[in-house]
Amino acid sequence: MSARSFIAVLGVLAVVGLLVFGLASKGSSGVAVGEVAPDAPLPQLEGGGTESLADYEGRWVLVNFWASWCIPCRAEAPALEEFQRRHGGPRFTVLGIDTRDLSGDGRAFVEKYGLSYPQLRDGDGNAGDEYGTTGVPESYLVDPTGKVRLHALGPVDEEYLRNEVEPWLLKGQS
């Protein structure tokens, strides 16, 4: 193969490689039920530290993506807080992730609804993209080994938490 042909083939391979990379990175469809949940560290909404899902290994975690500008998130916040008060502890927690939101607005939301569960910040929305969220709110129940057991699109309510989430926690106790 002549040097010219080699350069041409190299150029074509580079273009094809870029196209494949572009399609692969666009085509990631997030996490499905049964798969391991992403656990990249995120900054805490209040305070300067970072946390990740890995910090909750050994606990059931209800990961809840929300934003202060999202109206359905306002509707579900009291139900989540109530569920946390009843079940929160060494075996379970709700973990809020404030996504594509202003941190000041997020903190005001937490204060307004008296949310006591831990809150992380996902300002650029990358964590939401990794999970494959299509909007807010969305929730994922993650088991103590880090696998997703439930995925709720849209707001969760008391009935969903009691009928869908609670059985997993009770199953985990027995």
Partner 1 sequence: MRVRLVLVAVLAFAALAPVAAAEQRASLVEIEKQVMCPVCGTLLQLAESPQALREKAFVQRLVEEGRTEAQIKDALVAEYGEEVLALPPDSGFSLSAYVVPIVAFLIAAAALAAGVWRWRKAGGGPKDGGTPRAAGPSGEDADRLDADLARYDL
- Residues that bind partner 1 in the complex, under the rule CB under 8 A: 67-71, 100-105, 123-126
Q: CB of residue 122 vs partner 1: minimum separation in angstroms?
A: 10
Of 99, 82, 67, 57, the closest CA to residue 160 belongs to 82
Q: Which lies closer to partner 1 via its Cβ, residue 32 or residue 71?
A: 71
Q: Which lies closer to partner 1 via its Cβ, residue 68 or residue 84?
A: 68
Q: Which long-range contacts (CB under 8 A, 24 or more apart) does 81-88 make?
A: 81/113, 81/114, 81/115, 81/116, 81/117, 82/158, 83/158, 83/161, 83/165, 84/115, 84/116, 84/117, 85/116, 87/166, 87/169, 88/116, 88/117
Q: CB of residue 104 vs partner 1: minimum separation in angstroms?
A: 8
Q: CB of residue 7 vs partner 1: minimum separation in angstroms?
A: 10
Q: Which lies closer to partner 1 via its Cβ, residue 64 or residue 133?
A: 133
Q: CB of residue 8 vs partner 1: minimum separation in angstroms?
A: 11
Q: Whole-angstrom distance between the N-terminal and C-terminal Cα of the chain?
A: 68
Q: Which lies closer to partner 1 via its Cβ, residue 78 or residue 125?
A: 125
